[in-house]
Structure formats: structure tokens, C-alpha cells
């Protein structure tokens, strides 16, 4: 497989990889790094790729694992002077402006979910994969995914209701 | 989509039982402007999903892919080059040794003379040269003889003394 073929093959799902990485890692730069890393790893597997039934599912699994590894290593390195996705607790002007935007409330409520549920929401509600595909990517049973998804959606609904009624989380 | 249908689908949505098609319908419904007031709070959620799907990976594909491929070829070439070079060097040394050592091995004639008179003269010359050089060596050895004499005197004296005591 030469490079052009690889680029063509990767084109339909590289955005999905990026969005999943961003959902998990929060910062755009880190998500970009993760995407590149996943693409490079795919490229290095080049010849072995033919053996996989769905390269897209394989890439998504790879992304999930890579991002979770990244998060784990970040957590273990507790004392770090430079950490890339910290949040400023004091509300800045643009933060206040953003808070008015209810789309952002959704983003925030999703980011409060546990990682597993975040991945499932991302894959199902945003990328609209079938349960069967998600099950393959995450190595879970479909019913387990349905349960986690329902839980995640209900949690988000709770946040949304609170925000809608009182304007706070 | 009718309101009652939306409500039932929404209920199933939160139970995680809807299909992709139904979820698309929900998204389409909330994307329109006429959303029932009590469902308004969900509009943000579904609109967010649509927005989030628009995000794209804007960076270029990692360029080092090409470099990697090229450097791989280069490395392979270099490997073959070093092997080829070492073979050439070994061949060179081999042929040099082979061709230059043969005459040495084969030269068994040591330059003999056919005429006995000339041979006699040459032998005398060679022997006189040898004896001269040997004499040069012996002259320097005479000094050593002096040491030997001196040493013998000293040791004899010490022997006598020790006997005397």
C-alpha cells in the first residue's frame, strides 16, 4: 500500500478519530497529537492491515486505548509543572460569555461523565455507529453498551433539566 | 414528526433502545424551529450532537510518513553498500596477498655463480666481511671481559676474607 492509498483509506474516519480523541483528552492540541499518533501506528502496520475486517473499527479501538493510556499516564505523573489541559477555576470574560451558550452546557455535561460513558455517547450520538460496531470497538456486549448509554443519557438529561430550570449545574 | 411520537421516541431514547434512524429523526425534529415548549431543553442536546459532528481534523497528515518510507529505503541501501564495500576490500586484500606472496615462495634460486673462481672470490669477500663485523663485535665484548676479571678478583678476596674469619 503506498501513501496515497493510505491517505484515501484513512480519509473517511480520521475526523472521527480526532473527535473521539478530543472527547477524551479535552484539549485540541492533544487530540491532534493523538490522531497523528494513531495514523502513524496504522501506517506502520500497513501490510498487516489487510487482515482486519474493519479498519475503521480497528482505528477507533486504537484511539480509545491510546487516549486512555494518555490519561492514565497523566494521572500517574501527579506533580507536573506544565500540564496541558488544566482549567482555570476563576471565570474569565469569554468563559462567562460561553456560559450563556447552552450548547456549551451540553459539552460540559458530557465532559463530567465517566470515560467509558463519554466514549459511548461519542460513538453513538455523535458518530452514530450501530451498537454492533460499538460492541466490536469496545470489546463489550451490546446490552452492556445499551445500559451504559442509557445511564449516560439520563445523567445528561438531569444536567440539562437543572440548567434549564435554574441556570446552574 | 407528531408530538406524541416524539415523546415516546424520546422516552425510548433515554432508555437506550432507539435505532440510528429514530435518533436521526429526533435530531431533525429538534433542528426545526417549531419545538414544543416542554421539550425545548432537549433541543440544545441534539443540536450539540449535530455541531460536534462537524468538527474536523484540520492538521495535515503527518509528513514524516514519507520521510519514514524514504529513510527505510536509504537504510536498506546503506546496509547493502557496507556489505558490498567490505566484500570489495576483502577481495582486494586477498588478491594482493595472493599475487605478491607467490614470487617470494617460488624464489628458491639464491643467486649461484657458475664460474668457480668468481664463486671463490665472492665467498672470500663474504667471509672477510663477516669476520670484520664479528671482530667489531668482539672488541666491544673485551670490555665485558674486564668486568669478568674484576669480578673474579673481588669475589676471590671476599671468599678469602670469610675463610680468614
Taking the C-alpha atoms of residue A158 and residue B113, their distance in angstroms, rounded to an integer, is 122
> Best interface-test mutation with A: which of B14, B15, B16 has the largest number of A CBs within 10 A?
B16
Cell of A114: 465517566
Cβ(A138)–Cβ(A119) under 8 Å?
yes
Size of interface A-B (CB pairs under 8 A): 79
Distance separating alpha carbons of residues A110 and B139, to the nearest angstrom: 109
Decide if B113 contacts B122 (C-beta within 8 A).
Answer: yes
Provide the number of structural domains found in chain A. 2
In this prediction, residues A98-114 reach a mean pLDDT of: 74
Does the pLDDT of residue A27 top 60, yes or no?
yes
Tell me if A23 sits within 8 A of A118, measured CB to CB. yes
pLDDT per residue over A69-102, tens digit each? 988 887 666 555 555 555 555 656 665 665 556 5
Nearest to B16 by CA among A153, A5, A133, A162: A153
Residues A143, A122 within the same domain: yes
C-alpha–C-alpha distance, residues A106 and A152, integer Å: 12
B45–A160: do the CB atoms touch at under 8 Å? yes
Is-contact A34 B70, C-beta < 8 A?
no
* Res A132 pLDDT > 70: yes
- Do A45 and A107 sit in the same domain of this protein? no
Contacts of B16 in chain A (CB under 8 A): 145-147, 149-150, 153
Q: How far is CA A51 from CA A55, A102, B109, in A?
A: 9, 45, 76
CATH of the domain at A161: 1.10.10.10
Which of A68, A86, A104 marks a domain boundary? Answer: A86
On whether both A31 and A94 belong to a single domain, the answer is no
| Structural contact between residues A43 and A6, judged by C-beta atoms closer than 8 angstroms | yes
Dihedral, CA of residue A166, residue B3, residue B9 and residue B12, to nearest 10: 50
Quick: pLDDT tens for B50-72.
888 887 877 776 655 554 554 55
Would an 8 Å CB–CB cutoff place A13 in contact with chain B? Answer: no
By residue range, what is the domain housing residue A151?
Answer: 88-169
Using 50, 70 and 90 to split pLDDT, how confident is the model at B86? very high
Query: B49 — contact with chain A (CB < 8 Å)?
Result: yes
Contacts for A119 with CB less than 8 Å, ≥ 6 apart: A20, A23, A24, A64, A138
- With CA atoms as reference, the chain B residue closest to A156 would be B45
Are A109 and A142 members of one domain?
yes
pLDDT at B102 over 70: no
pLDDT confidence tier of residue B126, bands split at 50, 70 and 90: very high
**CA nearest to A149 within chain B:** B16
pLDDT, position B88: 95
Binning pLDDT at 50, 70 and 90, where does residue B85 land?
very high
Amino acid at each position: 500500500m503506498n501513501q496515497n492509498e493510505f491517505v484515501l483509506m484513512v480519509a473517511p474516519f480520521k475526523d472521527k478519530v480526532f473527535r473521539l480523541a478530543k472527547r477524551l483528552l479535552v484539549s485540541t492540541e492533544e487530540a491532534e497529537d493523538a490522531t497523528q499518533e494513531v495514523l502513524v501506528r496504522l501506517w506502520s502496520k500497513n501490510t498487516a492491515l489487510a487482515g482486519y475486517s474493519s479498519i475503521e473499527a480497528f482505528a477507533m479501538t486504537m484511539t480509545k486505548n491510546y487516549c486512555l493510556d494518555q490519561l492514565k499516564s497523566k494521572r500517574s505523573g501527579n506533580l507536573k509543572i506544565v500540564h496541558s489541559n488544566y482549567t482555570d477555576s476563576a471565570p474569565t470574560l469569554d468563559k462567562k460569555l460561553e456560559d450563556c451558550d447552552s450548547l456549551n452546557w451540553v459539552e460540559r455535561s458530557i465532559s463530567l461523565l465517566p470515560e467509558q460513558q463519554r466514549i459511548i455517547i461519542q460513538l453513538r450520538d455523535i458518530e452514530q455507529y450501530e451498537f454492533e460496531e460499538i460492541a466490536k470497538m469496545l470489546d463489550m456486549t451490546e446490552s452492556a453498551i445499551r445500559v451504559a448509554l442509557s445511564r449516560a443519557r439520563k445523567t445528561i438529561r438531569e444536567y440539562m433539566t437543572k440548567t434549564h430550570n435554574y441556570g446552574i449545574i | 414528526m407528531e408530538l406524541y411520537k416524539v415523546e415516546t421516541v424520546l422516552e425510548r431514547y433515554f432508555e437506550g433502545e432507539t435505532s440510528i434512524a429514530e435518533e436521526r429523526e429526533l435530531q431533525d425534529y429538534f433542528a426545526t424551529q417549531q419545538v414544543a415548549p416542554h421539550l425545548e431543553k432537549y433541543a440544545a442536546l441534539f443540536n450539540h450532537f449535530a455541531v460536534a459532528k462537524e468538527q474536523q481534523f484540520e492538521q495535515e497528515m503527518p509528513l514524516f510518513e514519507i520521510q519514514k518510507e524514504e529513510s527505510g529505503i536509504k537504510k536498506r541501501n546503506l546496509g547493502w553498500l557496507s556489505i558490498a564495500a567490505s566484500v570489495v576490500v576483502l577481495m582486494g586484500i586477498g588478491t594482493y596477498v595472493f599475487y605478491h606472496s607467490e614470487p617470494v615462495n617460488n624464489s628458491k634460486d639464491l643467486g649461484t655463480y657458475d664460474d668457480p673462481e668468481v664463486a671463490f672470490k665472492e665467498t672470500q669477500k663474504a667471509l672477510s666481511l663477516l669476520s670484520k663485523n664479528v671482530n667489531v663485535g668482539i672488541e666491544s665484548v673485551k670490555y665485558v671481559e674486564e668486568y669478568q676479571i674484576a669480578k673474579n678478583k673481588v669475589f676471590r678476596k671476599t671468599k678469602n676474607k670469610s675463610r680468614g674469619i
